[in-house]
Amino acid sequence: MSGTGARDSAVIGAYSERKASAEAEARRLDDRGALFANGRGVTFVGALALAVLAIFHKVPAWGWYAAAGSLLAYALLAWRHGRVIRDEERAKVRVALNERGIARLRGEWHAFPGKGERFLPPDHLYASDLDVFGQGSLFQLIDETATRSGEATLASWLLEGANADTVRERQEAVKELAPLLDFRQTLLVESRIVAREKVDPARFVAWCEGGPYLRSIRWARPLAVILPLATLALYVLGRLELIHHGAWWGGVLALLAVVAATRKPIAAFYEQIVLGERGFARFGDTLAVVEKQAFTSPLLRRLVEPLRAHDGHGASARLKRFSRAFGFAEARQSSQLHAVLNLLTLWDVHTMFALERWREENGRLVRPWFEALAELEALCSLAGFAHDHPGFAFPEIDPKGTRFIATGLGHPLLDDPVRNDVSLPGPRTALIVTGSNMSGKTTLLRAIGANAVLALAGAPVCANSLVLGELRVLTSMRVKDSLERGISYFYAEVQRIRAVLDAAKAAHGKALFLLDEILLGTNTRERQIASRELLRLLLETGAIGAVTTHDLALTSLAEVTWASVRNVHFRDQLVDGKMCFDYRMREGVVETTNALRVLAEAGIPLGEGTSVEA
């Protein structure tokens, strides 16, 4: 992160103002809701009292009309109260979103629940080393998605770098979305009103693209129209004594037979919808927010196109039609009322075939809707990251070059990182990074890698400027042994290095390798020989990268003529007997070490005559 300087303070101020406004709106709506609740109580009690008085002839016949009017007023108040409750929920969600924005800028984002661990492939060649997922990760910092598909899209961008054209398109979209805080928050508000937890549209899409589901009872559709009307006609004719007064029971028996014959297929169909729906019927309001927003960037305009009106109906209107049809079908949840209603009208046949008809007309459109929404959510997450870090730069992606040139590069996950210039200007260039313990060597490598991941996802980076090629990021930093698989640390590291080398070859040298203290699991002499050979093989592919080491013998690679290898280092200094670090990268090889001082400061007793002034 960029710290709490003037720019961050301005952004925090904007979030604070929006939070205060949303809190005031929530209080106003809460007071208004209380008035509606009291009004509902008064009108209901009034309707009940008037009805009782009319029954016992305590008021004239107009009492029935007054009772009906009071009941109508109750219904209208209930409808308005429901809208006020939903608006109050929206205000509360806005409060939470702005609190989250403030927490992110104050470095409190480590408590956010979404860490994305489920997206971490076990053998990915940089995700674990660069904290892409998990506690304190890039994903935890950036993620502002509302659906599982949006979350998955963002994760895929962080796991696989895009080409230069795709990155440029995303950058344009992110730059356009970054200042649109109202739009981005409204999109999240409408999604979270539908479902507090992130929902997965996969089942709903599968239901929409499946079927036909009710083919076996298609014969019931005309009967659902004819039989209820015929039964009603028989009842009226019987009351008029034009036919036998009990003839209408024949119609009831026919209706009962149709209910029995269609019960299982309809129950199975309804269960499929319920399993897949999960609130997506109410995503019409979310899509309406997108449809109303005008965009200029080509990517955003292309994403919104599937949601725009086709044949006069946009995605939001079509989903709202589904929502209404599904609402009628949910009469099944009221068992007693549903039993009577279904018997007399064949309600289930009407409502389920209405849903099937909607699926046949719109099913093929649903996947593009939610794919567009998922990509838009991912772009909005990157835009939120850009909005919160106005000092971060959008990198330049060189589609042909193999280079990484940064000025003022810092680690994007640190609150106030020390920034360094890093230059790997062309193929076969590398940095050999030496330095004392805790001086910043590994942090430099992670800063290079994390910013490369952000850059190739389309996000801004923690740097004043960055130019890089379409590079594949490859790391070996946190190698672990495995007792279960019977793999030692050294062999696990060898396997990892082999994977890095194979990937660099497959990328034809368009790779960025970052190796931290390689081959620690063997003796010094063999490590020096093997490390030199490994770097030779990597650089011969045309790749670029950086290696940290305590083996100063490796620094002699700077003398080779077939590659451009530079020695850089970090150092510590003693101030009042305490080790201090400035985390500045300097040219050349480190001249001091601090391992003995670290042991001494940790309270580990050293033998007499052992000097810590190395």
Residue 483: predicted pLDDT: 43
Residue 23 burial class via C-beta count within 10 angstroms: exposed 0-12, middle 13-18, buried 19 and up = middle
CA dihedral 225, 227, 233, 237 (to 10 degrees): 170
pLDDT in tens, 182-205: 999 999 998 888 776 787 888 888
Residue 1 burial class via C-beta count within 10 angstroms: exposed 0-12, middle 13-18, buried 19 and up = buried
Residue 240: predicted pLDDT: 86
User: What's the average model confidence in pLDDT over 62-70?
Assistant: 85
The closest of 136, 98, 93, 96 to 116, measured between CA atoms, is 136
Percent of residues, the chain, with pLDDT higher than 70: 90
Q: What whole-number distance in Å separates Cα of residue 333 and Cα of residue 336?
A: 9
Contacts of 152 (CB under 8 A, 6+ apart): 119, 374
Asked if residue 178 lies in contact with residue 383, where contact means CB atoms within 8 angstroms, the answer is yes
Q: Supply 28's token pair.
A: 């106003």
Q: What whole-number distance in Å separates Cα of residue 189 and Cα of residue 493?
A: 46
**Domain covering 396-601, topology:** Rossmann fold (3.40.50)
pLDDT in tens, 138-159: 999 999 998 899 999 999 999 9
pLDDT of 577 higher than 70: no
pLDDT of 600 higher than 60: no
SS3 21: helix
pLDDT of 607 higher than 60: no
pLDDT of 508 higher than 50: yes
Higher pLDDT, 389 or 611: 389
pLDDT in tens, 513-572: 999 888 765 666 777 777 888 889 999 999 999 999 877 778 887 788 787 899 999 887
* Model confidence band, residue 264 (pLDDT cutoffs 50, 70, 90): very high
Distance of CA 248 to CAs 242, 346, 350, 388, 466, Å? 12, 16, 21, 71, 82
* Model confidence band, residue 51 (pLDDT cutoffs 50, 70, 90): confident
Asked if residue 548 lies in contact with residue 517, where contact means CB atoms within 8 angstroms, the answer is yes
Q: Supply 186's token pair.
A: 């409204």
Residue 164: predicted pLDDT: 96
The closest of 54, 43, 123 to 79, measured between CA atoms, is 43
The closest of 599, 596, 592 to 611, measured between CA atoms, is 596
Q: Supply 198's token pair.
A: 């992130």
Contacts of 27 (CB under 8 A, 6+ apart): none
The closest of 172, 137, 177 to 158, measured between CA atoms, is 137
Residue 408: predicted pLDDT: 96
Asked if residue 589 lies in contact with residue 555, where contact means CB atoms within 8 angstroms, the answer is yes
Contacts of 377 (CB under 8 A, 6+ apart): 144, 145, 146, 147, 149, 150, 151, 153, 154, 187
* pTM score of the predicted model: 0.87
* Model confidence band, residue 64 (pLDDT cutoffs 50, 70, 90): confident
H helix runs in 474-523, sequence order:
489-506
Asked if residue 519 lies in contact with residue 496, where contact means CB atoms within 8 angstroms, the answer is no
Q: What whole-number distance in Å separates Cα of residue 250 and Cα of residue 158?
A: 67
pLDDT in tens, 77-120: 988 998 899 899 999 999 999 999 999 999 999 999 989 999 99
* Model confidence band, residue 378 (pLDDT cutoffs 50, 70, 90): very high
Beta bridge partners of residue 511, listed in sequence order = 472
Neighbours of 421 (CB within 10 A): 13
Spell out the SS3 assignment of 386-425.
HHHCCCCECCEEECCCCCEEEEEECCCCCCCCCCEEEEEC
User: What's the average model confidence in pLDDT over 379-392?
Assistant: 96
* Model confidence band, residue 1 (pLDDT cutoffs 50, 70, 90): very low
